[in-house]
Chain A
Amino acid sequence: MRKTYKLFIGGAFPRSESGRTYLVDGDNVALASRKDARDAVTAARKAQPKWAAATAYNRGQVLYRVAEMLEARRAEFAAVGVPAAEVDAAVDRWVWYAGWSDKITQVHGSANPVAGPYFNISAPEPTGVVAVVAPASFLGLVSVVAPAIVTGNTVVVLAGAPQAAITLAEVLATSDVPGGVVNLLTGDPAETAPWLASHDDVNGLDLTGVSDTALATELERTAAGSLKRVRRPAGTEIDFFADPGVKAMTAFLEIKTVWHTKGF
């Protein structure tokens, strides 16, 4: 049976409000508009405080559940052309990031020995709403979404591999990820990304999937208007099978330092 590939916003699967679709390998896929991008930001913003306030243990379990659901749907990814090795690696990647939820604070935070009678600690907190231009591969998509959300950010993703992305959305919708934490838009990033780069309620912009240098530069320049945290394209081909390190997480973390007086 042919499937309709719609958008994934706020936990629901709407068509593009523009009514537009485009053809991908014989499938009609929703072509997201500016309005869809704005709706997705609204959904991401609405979901963010609660997602960030969830315990790290809880977020870890939610990501682990995504891995379970993804593994159960291996055949569907094969059907849209994702190589089995990539699906396996994507499952492992969700598991890997799931485990980071309650470790990144210790690894990236610190107790600071200041020269005075003060309690002083630094801990990472999520940046907020992150817009992501995802790489074209499925593993690439998972490798930018999982690290952004595990720390408590919510995301609006412009997907490079539309059918695989929407199949992932179906995984997310049937796992325990709260609606709005991940929002997936299909279409032309050159059309929608500039709206996200200029959106004042977007705090971070991940350009990992932008291969057009001129577009990447323009998006980064636009993002400067509200001083978004920008993760630039790598500049070289990324091997998504390699150890991803922590930078994909730390790119969208803020360090908060809290001081308190000590005394009797």
Chain B
Amino acid sequence: MFEYAPAPESRSVVDIAGSYGLFIDGSFRESAAGSFKTVNPATEEVLAEVASAGVEEIDLAVAAARRAFGPWSALPGSERAKYLFRIARIIQERSRELAVLESLDNGKPIKESRDVDLPLVAAHFFHYAGWADKLKYAGFGADPRPLGVAAQVIPWNFPLLMLAWKVAPALATGNTVVLKPAETTPLSALFFADICRQADLPPGVVNIVTGAGDTGRALVEHPGVDKVAFTGSTEVGRQIARSVAGTRKRLTLELGGKAANIVFDDAPIDQAVEGIVNGIFFNQGHVCCAGSRLLVQESIRDELLESLKRRMATLRVGDPLDKNTDIGAINSAEQLDRIRTLADAGSAEGAERWSPPCELPGQGFWFAPTIFTGVTQAHRIAREEIFGPVLSVLTFRTPAEAIEKANNTPYGLSAGIWSDKGSLILAVADQLRAGVVWANTFNKFDPASPFGGYKESGYGREGGRHGLEAYLA
């Protein structure tokens, strides 16, 4: 591997305050329920003290969203659109600041927050801005109506992007929002609150309540909420589905995954290897649609693995703010524990573990890119979502066997297919029980492209025309 001189992005482009309150009804306020610290996972340095919203604060936020709903939903769509366009523009203008902030709070490499997250965030607002005055053409009736107050709970893997996926369609359709960012990554959502003020968004249309699981539960279970949208683990998704049962709250869930990335023997190997690496090591593998199960046709197994290992040896793990970094920090100590536990289970159950030689920083939370070979479908690492840079390699002989193995999971979020044969790709894509199928590519996202799962990966779609449905009566 070439030695590169450090190329750090400047962290001085972003001002992080010592402490943050809750964003309710257009202004920041303290919480009676205490606070928590958010840390930089790459250094364990405390970045800020953040208010934790309790039941009382959730009440206030929902009430503010309810008050704002009437006037906001009564605005002509073209006026709501202007706010969203303005937000998209401000995000573009402040994207360097936001990218650095995201990498600091989340641990993801700056080249990903800069080149993937932030452009997609702005694009998402831009896309849904344009829908706000065209809803009657969207195919959901002549006069589709908003639902009311949307409670939105998002994960830590793409903090600002998941916010955009939730907030943009909700506002475009005339709903108001109370959003809870993840406990370990609250900062970009709080900066977004400031962007809402800069855009002169009316108070109460967007409210940001920070906190842990209890805060999320209080929000989701609040009787004043009309719509719940959640992205996170399948286990929490189940709890939320139980809690909204019997209410009139509408629910969409974007949950876990255990995607198969299927490589056929006629696939272009170099491209497939890039796709495999992107599929599982993008964002440290903290991706619900990560290609965490590599299904490789037996005849090319050795050739592919050799090439994959060679490529993995060139991955640079380290400082997320360094522009050459490929793999950043694991988001939290808790997540690192979970990855270690599952990786240890992989070894204990008899799979063979391999990582390239790679020096990990002494401070912070790190996990080397890892592959397991000799994995069977019974192994935990082939069944459970690891949500880390760990790839399980399985083999197959026929397309039918590949499909069978790919679908042999309670999840159904995504899948990948690599082949030079178009008819094979289309036939296999038809048979895969997954909401997103990438053929000769992986981990591509776009605001116009609906995203969401089959089976226990949840229900509802985010993105495009389909993404409007979750927010319309």
Contacts and interface: CB of A to CB of B under 8 A. Distances in A.
B449 A116 contact: no
B255 interface: yes
A211 interface: no
Interface in A212-245: 213, 216-218, 220-221, 223-227, 229, 235
B448 A257 contact: no
A110 B464 contact: yes
A227 B253 contact: yes
Contacts of A107: 139
A260 B455 contact: no
A259 B438 contact: yes
A217 B245 contact: yes
A122 B245 contact: no
A174 interface: no
Given A224-B238, A224-B245, A225-B238, A258 B446 contact: no
A235 B246 CA distance: 11
Interface in B429-473: 429, 432, 434-441, 444, 446, 448-452, 454-456, 458-459, 461, 464-466
B237 interface: yes
Nearest to A213: B246
B382 to A, nearest CB: 19
Interface string B199-242: 00000000000000000000000000000000000100110011
B449 A227 contact: no
Contacts of A235: 248
A255 B248 contact: no
Contact of A227 (B123, B139, B237, B246): B237
Contact of A259 (B237, B444, B454): B444
Interface residues of B, number: 40
Interface in B132-180: 139
B81 interface: no
Nearest to B426: A258
A221 B246 CA distance: 8
A120 B246 contact: no
Interface size grouping (class) on chain A:
20 to 34
A226 B450 contact: no
A218 B435 CA distance: 28
Nearest to A260: B439
B425 interface: yes
Nearest to B246: A217
Contact of A258 (B234, B238, B245, B439): B439
Contacts of A118: 441, 444
A254 interface: yes
A120 B456 CA distance: 24
Interface of B: 123, 139, 234, 237-238, 241-242, 245-246, 248, 253, 255, 410, 425, 429, 432, 434-441, 444, 446, 448-452, 454-456, 458-459, 461, 464-466
Interface of A: 107-108, 110, 112-116, 118, 120, 122, 127, 203, 213, 216-218, 220-221, 223-227, 229, 235, 254-261
Given A127-B454, A227-B238, A255-B435, 13 more contacts: A112-B464, A120-B449, A223-B241, A227-B241, A227-B253, A227-B255, A235-B248, A256-B435, A256-B436, A257-B449, A259-B439, A260-B441, A261-B439
25 contacts: A107-B139, A110-B450, A112-B448, A112-B450, A113-B448, A114-B444, A122-B450, A127-B454, A217-B246, A220-B245, A224-B241, A224-B242, A227-B253, A227-B456, A227-B459, A255-B435, A255-B452, A255-B466, A256-B432, A257-B450, A259-B436, A259-B441, A261-B439, A261-B440, A261-B441
